[in-house]
Structure 1
Amino acid sequence: MRFRSRGKRITREDIKRFASEFDPQPIHLDEAAAALTPLKGLAASGWHTAAIAMRLLVEVGAGGRHPLLGIGVDELRWLAPVRPDDVLHLEGEVTELIPSKTKPQGLVRTKWTAFNQRGEPVYTFTPISVVPRRGMTGSTAE
C-alpha cells in the first residue's frame, strides 16, 4: 500500500511559534543568529518537522477507521532543513506486516518520507504500529 498527503506550507511564524514553546534554540527563533550557524538561516526544529509529518500521516488515513497505536519508530532521520515557505508533503509505503499468532492484531511498518516543494526529501521515519487483523474473531477490520 502507498499513501500521499496534501501539501502543508510552513511559515516563519509557525517555525518561531513551535520553537518558542518546544525547542527554543536561536537557530529556530533568531534569524540573525541562525544565519551564523551551519544551516545558514532560520530552520524549523526537527521536532516541528516530525509533528507536521504526524499530522499529515493522520490526515492521509493510513490506519483507515482505526487509531494509529504506535509502539516505536525506526530510521528517523532529518535530511535537510525546513525553511520558511517550504511546502511539505508526505509519502508512505507499507514495508512489513507481521500478524499475531494469538491476538486479533498485528504490526505494520510503514516507511514515510516528507518532501519539500522541490521534491527534496527532508525527513524520513518508519513507525511501527499495532493494527487489527482481518478475518480473526473479534477483529473489526474490514
Structure 2
Amino acid sequence: MTLYFEDLAVDDEWTSDEYAVTEAEIREFADQYDPQWFHTDPDRAAEKSPYGGLIASGWHTAAMSMRLLVDCFLTEAATMGAKGVDELRWREPVQPGDRLSVRATVLEREVDSDQRGTVRLHVETTNAADEVVFSMVGIVMFARRDT
C-alpha cells in the first residue's frame, strides 16, 4: 500500500531492521568521500584517536541511516524528495561491528498545494546499546491523493 500525505499523522512512527556496520565499508566510504585518518587507518586510529579505533564518517552514518529509512518506510511512501534537513547531529561515533537501526516519527505536517504536502520527520539512528548515534529532522515532500 502506498502511503500518501493524507495517511500520515503526527506521532506516527516506523522502526527499521538492524544493519551491521563493517570495517571494510567504513574504509571504502572514507577512501572515496572522507579520507581522514580516523576513518581510513585502523592502526593509527587505534593508537592515536580518542575513539580507540576506526570510526565511520558522519556522512557515512547519514547515508546508512538514509538507507534504513528508505527500507523501513519511504519505499512504500509517495515521497517527492526533500526540501532539506534540520538539526543534523552526530551524537556518538559508529565503529565496525555496530548494529544500527532507525526510528522515524512524524513531527508536523503541512499542506503545500493540491499536489503535495510537507512532513517533518524526526529520525534517530541507534546502536545495539540503544545509544543515539545520529539524529536529524527531515523535511520531506509527499504526494497527495488524487482528489
Q: TM-score, normalised by structure 1?
A: 0.88
Equivalent runs, 1:6-21 vs 2, <5 Å: 6-21=17-32
Select the residue among 122, 125, 132 that pairs with 1:114: 125
Aligned to 1:17, the other structure's residue is in SS state helix
Cα deviation, residue 14, structure 1? 1.0
Equivalent runs, 1:26-45 vs 2, <5 Å: 26-35=37-46, 36-45=48-57
Farther off after superposition, 116-125 or 37-46: 37-46
1:12-57 CA deviation, whole Å, 9 max, x = no partner? 1111111111111100011122131222311000011000001011
Aligned residues of 2:121 and 2:138 also touching (Cα < 8 A): yes
Aligned residues of 1:3 and 1:62 also touching (Cα < 8 A): no
Between Structure 1 and Structure 2, the one with more helix by share is 2
Aligned to 2:96, the other structure's residue is in SS state coil
Runs of 4+ in 1 over 4 A off after TM superposition: none
2:22 corresponds to which letter in structure 1?
A: T
Aligned to 2:117, the other structure's residue is in SS state strand
Aligned identity (percent) is: 39
1:44 corresponds to which letter in structure 2?
A: A
Distance 1:68 1:114 in 2: 23
5+ residue gaps, structure 1, are: 138-142
Distance 1:16 1:109 in 2: 32
5+ residue gaps, structure 2, are: 1-11
Cα deviation, residue 62, structure 1? 3.5
Structure with higher RCO (Cα < 8 A, 6+ apart):
2
Aligned residues of 2:80 and 2:143 also touching (Cα < 8 A): no
